Structure 1
Amino acid sequence: MNKVSNNWIIFTDLDGSLLDHDSYSHKAADGLLGELEQDQIPVILTTSKTRAEVLSLRAELNNPHPFIIENGAAVFIPQGYFTTKPEGCIETDGFWIFRFCQERSYWLAILEKAKLIFPHSFSHFSVMKEEVIAQLTGLSLEQAQQANQREFGEPITWLGVDKAKHEFILWLEDQGGHVLQGGRFLHLSGACNKGQALVWLAAEYKKQRNLPTTKTIAIGDSGNDIAMLEQADLALIIRSPVHESPKLKRTHGFFISEEFGPRGWNAGLRKIL
């Protein structure tokens, strides 16, 4: 890759984007990830996954940068990554953490009420055995355990009819919840999204690194990526083998990959850069 200006920041979804939908492999993107690191272009893992899942993957990818978990619920910045701790961050476990919504327990209490109104119509991670989560996601038991270490929201699997699903979502929204349709699950949390987290972190880079401007690229494949795909300067939609591509309101500055998953990620991002 030719040397590009180092005020680019790349925000990428994981499942179905940087990671293959079925195998969770990132192999096809590894070469480009190495080049980006060499060129000092941060790749920010921006995902519906938990902190435990991302920490495991970050180690695998040798990614030292901040990351965004649970659909924009919180930004985690390694302590000392910036010169000063960003305003509004708490300091825990070696990270500066900026939170955008309430903790998981708050949403679990709302789901308990929902069970009275929509009996036997849905299930969710906190009541599932890890074997069931592994079966639903294709993850190993250890990975399923990490996926269940949620801090800010709850993945839900809908078991009822489509019409009732719409009513269920409206009911959750009336309770102050924010519901996103991901590749596999409904995700319930507060009024947070990946776009809001992208804007906050890009502004922090600009301030802390004293940059005249930052240029952001967002990469994603499903509905829970729309907010960041709309907010970024440039967007790359990764084609999915299992669902339609997200529909954006923006009319320019976006690209659609020809291939799926990390192959599409690699080819599409090379083309943009």
Structure 2
Amino acid sequence: MAIIIFTDLDGTLLNQDDYRCDAALPVLKELQAKQIPVIPVTSKTRQEVETLRQELNLGDPFIVENGSAVFVPLDSKQFVLSAKIEREGYQLELLGCTYAQARQGLAAVATMLGERLRGFGDLSEQEIGQLTGLSEQEVKRAKAREFTEPFLTPDRVSQQQLQQAVEAKGFQVVVGDRFSHLIGSGAGKGKAVRWLVRHYRSPKAEEKLITVGLGNSPNDLAMLEAVDVPIVVPSAKAPHPGLMGRGWQVASAPGCQGWANAVVSVCDRLLA
């Protein structure tokens, strides 16, 4: 049996409060020893994910900016593809749009709504740091957008109005309390997961492939729907209500401890 693990980062592999993943470190090492890929699926940028991959010694593909792009290391043996785009040591599969297109799209949506929409490209590093609490280096990595544009969620526009305007301009939006994300129409965490699974090549042709996904919020819904074994990682209070009522497994603890417990349990069961 072959296993692939797809995982959200903030609030899932990483704790929501301190962004640490100490409890998951021994499990990650064991997964690497067993050649089980651990693939981040996140709204973060490539630079943000690359920093984490270096810290955790991960070498598998990863999915960034809400499913806008898949990066596969050129030396990957488990994921075989002939992508037309190579970028800094990776094969790149672009599912969404470019950053320039996202910026143009945000301007068009703002004009349609008659509202000023301020994206990351309009905000200084100091402003983003004050709004997010990120350090100077973290802000630089978060601002290194390649495919999507986060913007301050407007107060005077309803979520329905915002979504309608975005769709009218040929984009998608992930609406958040403070920031929303404008993404290309072809992007999506679920789409990216399915695309990567299609390009998996097991060392043993007869092996059955099982995909596992872990997430903590409705932004992970499409990813969880795309895997064989979806697992909800709860917050300190409870699982997100937007992910409940589906019969999915809920991890026994929040953050990295819950992630570690769930991954050990599912791998022991599948590989028994």
Instruction: Map 1:9-48 onto structure 2 (within 5 A).
Output: 9-48=4-43
Is 1:206–1:213's contact at 8 Å kept on the other side of the alignment?
no
2:233 aligned counterpart, secondary structure? strand
Give the CA deviation at 1:93. 0.9
2:218 equivalent in structure 1: 223
1:80 equivalent in structure 2: 75
Which residue, 53, 57, 66 being the options, matches 2:61?
66
User: In 1, distance between residues paired with 2:176 and 2:203?
Assistant: 32
Q: Which runs of 5+ in 1 are unaligned?
A: none
Aligned residue identity for 1:193: G
Instruction: Map 1:20-169 onto structure 2 (within 5 A).
Output: 20-82=15-77, 86-119=81-114, 122-161=117-156, 164-169=158-163
Q: Which runs of 5+ in 2 are unaligned?
A: 268-272
CA-atom RMSD in angstroms? 2.4
User: In 1, distance between residues paired with 2:18 and 2:196?
Assistant: 30
> Quick one: percent identity of the two aligned structures?
35
User: In 2, distance between residues paired with 1:22 and 1:44?
Assistant: 22
TM-score, normalised relative to structure 2: 0.88
Is 2:163–2:173's contact at 8 Å kept on the other side of the alignment?
yes
User: In 1, distance between residues paired with 2:226 and 2:245?
Assistant: 9
Matched, 1:255 2:249: yes
2:200 aligned counterpart, secondary structure? helix
Is 1:88–1:98's contact at 8 Å kept on the other side of the alignment?
yes
User: In 2, distance between residues paired with 1:243 and 1:145?
Assistant: 33
1:180 equivalent in structure 2: 174
Matched, 1:237 2:219: no
Residue correspondences, number: 266
Deviation per CA, 1:33-83, whole angstroms, max 9, x where unpaired?
111111211100111111111111100000011111111111111112138
Aligned residue identity for 2:144: Q
Deviation per CA, 1:182-208, whole angstroms, max 9, x where unpaired?
686322111311111111111211378
Matched, 1:189 2:165: no
User: In 2, distance between residues paired with 1:182 and 1:116?
Assistant: 21
2:270 equivalent in structure 1: none
Is 1:28–1:262's contact at 8 Å kept on the other side of the alignment?
yes
